[in-house]
Chains A and B, each alone.
Chain A
Amino acid sequence: MDEILEILQKDGRATSEDIARMTRKKPEAVRQAIKKYEKEGVILKYKAVINRELVREANAQVRALIEVNIIPQKDVGFDKIAERIYSFPEVSSCYLVSGTYDLLLIVEGKDLQTVSKFVSEKLAPLENIRGTTTHFLLKKYKEDGIILKHREENKRIAISY
């Protein structure tokens, strides 16, 4: 992967100037590369990683991992059914996987009932769906390589040879 992408994946707020310094490129060249990535859809958007557990909000959300068994449709395979499923706003992620089921979804809702209702009323009745298994998330420890915990203090001594 291009080093510019690698840097931005770690820190979406890294400036073109700083990336240019780190990679020994011209800031203008970095800006253009980023623009190109954005245009091509390689970089889709920039967002903050939020530790929801620390956000005390009235409309807290619950999340569930849902395994979906589907019967592929003739000619279009899984893609068409996947599209019908991921188009629901409740579905935040959707993956096609190998193994004992086919699609893995991450579904969000304001409480258990909302998610259950989505599964039983919207998802399960869909044509071509053979069955679903819902796992509600209890606690999030790590997401996208980031451990969700307060930053640990530096344990190094401040000066050494």
Chain B
Amino acid sequence: MKDIISKKVQQMQPSGIRVFFDLVLGMKDVISLGVGEPDFVTPWPIREAGIYSLEEGFTSYTSNKGLYKLRLCIHRYLKNKYGLEYSADNETLVTVGVSEGFDLALRAIINPADKIIIPLPSFVSYGPLTELAGGIPVFINTEKEGFKLTPRLLEKHIDKKTKAVILNYPVNPTGVSYTKKELSEINKIIIKHKLLCISDEIYGDLTYDFEHTPFPTLPNAKGHTIYLNGFSKSYAMTGWRVGFACGPQEIIGAMTKIHQYTIMCVGITAQMAACEALESGRRTVEEMKREYKRRREFVVGRFNELGLECRRPQGAFYIFLCVKNTGLSAMDFAQGLLKEQKVAVVPGTAFGSEFSDYVRISYASSIDNLKEAINRIEAFLKGRKKWPKRQKQIS
């Protein structure tokens, strides 16, 4: 039998990183700086709310759009925190993490051969999901611009078939974020060319050096923006799988159509817990944020001492470390480090094939772990011929 699998899926690139991942997962006693989720467990009051909902017998479906109570909590949270108003009735959809929201957004807007602009490096799913939805990803390498999409770069890649721009900030894997001014300039280009913007702001709460600006709060941006956010990173709720999408009624309505046939609704326990997160979890978010910030300073400081180029990222919990002056490619660096010192990092090529000089370091790990891991990286580098030159501190 041939062609069991659809051509579209056959064409999807299998991740070259998978082999390396399997290697990590098969090894014991590894200190992993390769984890894309918080090292905190979900704060107890949130877990307790989930348990209580089970005790009370909340085990049914909810409205397709999500529990009305949760949508109201989301409405209030966005309004109070950012002055951003989305109706809980028809402009908000509760999704299975941002991942689902992202897929829905693409499927809701893409007609065959529409082009979607994706700044690189990017989260792993953006390209494949665009293709799966029938669109054509247009990748923009932002390395030369300090890993930021600039209005000039953006405009250069827009043509008649361009439908939308994907933004994600703070960025996984670089931790880079955008100021309000930078975003406004990007928004002007989006308005000029009548594009949509899908803004993945899952790390928004983890912005350290300036206030996070949600894209839809920019002048005249709300009408063309699909705002995606969730609970995974700021409330340490990755395993619960709850996110939300907000946007113009027409788009949210279209996304809800797909969602009702594929997902039906997000698990009710997770939705109940998410309500509690928004109602009482803000304090713990601030505490975790302070802790991440300290870790960021520690890690950036240590890497610069080692002579590895390390920019200070403004958010998330990642550092995109340039390993070029070790003379190793990202994959060789990652494999060597894993085998010799049992420290796991993610090769930059996972986030775009051109990033073979980088590895992603996650500092969602205790200071003790980070300290030990970086000591081991130091030992790993000392064991090599080409010991990197000391570099000036980059602030």
Q: Which positions in A face B, CB cutoff 8 Å?
A: 3, 6-7, 11, 14, 18, 20-24, 154-161
- Choose one: B30, B34, B298; the contact of A22 (CB below 8 Å): B298
Shortest CB distance B302–A (Å):
6
Inter-subunit contact B367/A157 (CB<8 Å): no
B294 contacts A160, C-beta separation under 8 Å: no
Which residues does chain B contribute within 8 Å of A20, judged by CB atoms?
A: 301
- Contact A156/B298 with A18-B367, A161-B123, A161-B172 known, Cβ cut-off 8 Å: no
Within 8 Å CB of A159, what residues of B?
21, 24-25, 32, 34-35, 344, 346
- Whose C-beta in chain A lies nearest to the C-beta of B301? A21
| Cβ-neighbour of B294 out of A3, A154, A155, A157 (below 8 A) | A3
**Whole-angstrom CA separation of A49 from B321 in the bound complex:** 37
Distance of A160 Cα from B37 Cα, bound (Å): 8
- List chain B residues, Cβ under 8 A from A3: 294
How distant is B117 from chain A, measured CB to nearest CB, in Å?
21
The reply on B286 being an interface residue by CB < 8 A is no
Given A21-B301, A22-B294, A161-B124, 13 extra CB contacts under 8 A: A18-B298, A18-B371, A21-B297, A21-B302, A155-B41, A156-B32, A158-B30, A158-B35, A159-B32, A159-B34, A159-B346, A160-B35, A160-B37
Bound CA span A3–B290, Å = 9
Provide the bound-state CA to CA distance between A126 and B383, in Å.
70
Interface pair B37/A156, CB less than 8 Å apart: yes
Chain B interface size, as a band, is 20 to 34
A160 to B41 CA separation, bound complex (whole angstroms) = 16
- What would 15 A/B residue contacts be, using CB atoms closer than 8 Å? A6-B290, A7-B294, A20-B301, A22-B295, A22-B298, A154-B39, A158-B24, A158-B35, A158-B344, A159-B21, A159-B25, A159-B35, A159-B346, A160-B34, A160-B37
Partner of B32 from the list A6, A24, A158 (CB cut-off 8 Å) is: A158
The interface residues of chain B lying within 8 Å CB-to-CB of A161 are: 36, 123-124, 172, 346, 350
- A-chain residues with CB within 8 Å of residue B350 when the two chains form the complex: 161
The distance in angstroms between the C-alpha atoms of A125 and B323, with both chains bound, is: 73
> Please, how many angstroms separate the alpha-carbon atoms of A65 and B276 in the complex?
34
- How far, in whole Å, are A14 and B271 apart by their CA atoms in the complex? 39
Using CB atoms and an 8 Å cutoff, list the residues of chain B in contact with chain A: 21, 24-25, 27, 30, 32, 34-37, 39, 41, 123-124, 172, 290, 294-295, 297-298, 301-302, 344, 346, 350, 367, 371
Contacts of A155 in B (CB 8 A): 41
Within the complex, the shortest CB–CB distance from B304 to chain A, in Å, comes to: 10
Interchain nearest-CB distance for B103 vs A (Å): 15
Q: Which residue from chain B places its CB closest to the CB of A7 in the assembled complex?
A: B294
Alpha-carbon distance A156/B317, docked complex (angstroms): 16
Closest chain A residue, CB of each to CB of B99: A161
Q: Which of A6, A154, A156 has the most CB of B within 10 A?
A: A156
List chain B residues, Cβ under 8 A from A156: 32, 35, 37, 39
B114 to chain A, nearest CB (A): 25
Complexed CA–CA distance, A65 and B31 (Å):
42
Contacts of A21 in B (CB 8 A): 297-298, 301-302
Measured between alpha carbons, how far is A6 from B37 in the docked complex, in Å? 24
Q: Which residues of A contact B295 (CB under 8 A)?
A: 22
**Assembly CA distance A156 to B290 (angstroms):** 22
Chain A residues near B123 (CB-CB < 8 A): 161
B41 to A, closest residue via Cβ = A155
Q: What's the minimum C-beta distance from B34 to chain A, rounded to whole angstroms?
A: 4
Max chain A Cβ within 10 angstroms of own Cβ: one of B123, B124, B172, B301? B301
Give complex CA distance A80, B301 in Å. 51
Residues of A within 8 A of B302 (CB): 21
Docked Cα-Cα span, A46 to B344, in Å, equals 34
Smallest CB–CB gap between B177 and chain A, Å? 18
Find chain B residues with CB under 8 A from A6 CB: 290
